[in-house]
Amino acid sequence: MNTFVIVLLLVSGANTQFSFPALTADQIVGNHLKFRMNLASGGLYVQGVQLPRATNMLKTFWDWTLAANAQTYADSCPTAPSGATGYGENMHYIWTTTPASILDSYAFNAPLKWAEQLSDYGLSSLTMDATILASGVADATQMMWAKTKYVGCGVKNCGPDPTQSNKTRIVAVCHYTPKGNIIGEDIYEQGAIACSNCPAGTVCESYMGMSTSMCV
Ligand SMILES: *[C@@H]1O[C@H](CO)[C@@H](O)[C@H](O)[C@H]1NC(C)=O
């Protein structure tokens, strides 16, 4: 246990410019990976309809540079997407009367909220188009985007929001590369067998003898 604490201190000491310890980064990535694995293996249902398996779903990894960038944007207490090009961007706002002193949980819950967009709004196609982008599921489809390999996130307590009875507003931001949600491209390649079309240089990941359905 002591070793564990020391390791965490060393990790956070080495990354003092970032808001998250490595453990939180793992949890945020983990929530993305669970979702991607479930989708790739045919376990994701949207409004009662099973989505086809993914043949080319990449495993996603944490990137501290993306995280620093996302934290910088969160620190500005944004009320809208940055509009930046070059990376994908997901945002989640939370209003609360009792903000937790440690904000990490808001960041690792954000991917769960983004996934819920699918049950709220549905998904009309697996090829990205303007209708899908405007339908309220763009954060979910960025998480579903097969070719996205890296994610990094930040979170900020933006204080009382006078437009919401002075509830505390918390902003979580994740940035992604390669960027998803490109109009005309498939969100992912569908097929009967997960991992059957992993990109060159990648193979299907195996964990304890089982396929994770993601290319690594
Ligand atoms: C919110 O806080 C401001 C500044 O303290 C105050 O003037 C305002 O009355 C508050 N609004 C509400 C709805 O409590």
Residue 166 Cβ contacting ligand 1 at under 6 Å: yes
Tell whether ligand 1 has an atom less than 6 A from the beta carbon of residue 97. Answer: no
Pocket test for ligand 1, best of 166, 167, 169 (most atoms within 8 A of CB): 166
Quote the CA–CA distance of 12 and 188 in Å, as a whole number. Answer: 35
Measuring CA to CA, how many Å separate 47 from each of 4, 120, 132? 42, 8, 15
Taking CA 12 as the corner, what is the angle to CA 109 and CA 170, rounded to the nearest 5 degrees? Answer: 35
Which token pair is 147? 């070719």
Kindly report the protein residue whose alpha carbon is nearest to atom 12 of ligand 1: 165
Neighbours of 114 (CB within 10 A): 25
Paired tokens of 203 = 């193979």
Residues 6+ apart with CB under 8 A from 119: 46, 47
In tens digits, the chain (216 residues) has pLDDT values of 343 433 333 333 333 345 789 999 999 999 999 999 999 999 999 999 999 999 999 999 999 999 999 999 999 999 999 999 999 999 999 999 998 888 999 999 999 999 999 999 999 999 999 999 999 999 999 999 999 999 999 999 999 999 999 999 999 999 999 999 999 999 999 999 999 999 999 999 999 999 999 999
What ranges do the domains of the chain cover? 22-38+60-182
**DSSP per residue, 179-212:** ----TTSBSS-EESSTTTTPPTT--EEEETTEEE
C-alpha of residue 162 to centroid of ligand 1, in Å: 6
Q: Is 13 in the pocket of ligand 1 (CB under 6 A)?
A: no
Which fold, 22-38+60-182? Pathogenesis-related Protein p14a (3.40.33)
Q: What is the pLDDT of residue 18?
A: 56
Query: Which pLDDT value is given to residue 20?
Result: 87
CB neighbour list of residue 110: distance below 8 Å, 6 or more residues apart: 28, 90, 92, 153, 172, 174
pLDDT for the residue numbered 9: 36
pLDDT at 4: 40
Q: How many C-beta atoms lie closer than 10 Å to residue 157's C-beta?
A: 17
What distance in angstroms lies between residue 164's CA and the mean position of ligand 1's atoms?
10
Beta strands in the chain, from DSSP E residues, in sequence order: 45-46, 49-50, 53-54, 61-62, 88-96, 150-161, 167-177, 190-191, 204-207, 210-215
Question: Minimal CA–CA distance to 74: which of 100, 110, 118, 32?
Answer: 110
Rounded to whole angstroms, how far apart are CA atoms 180 and 70? 16
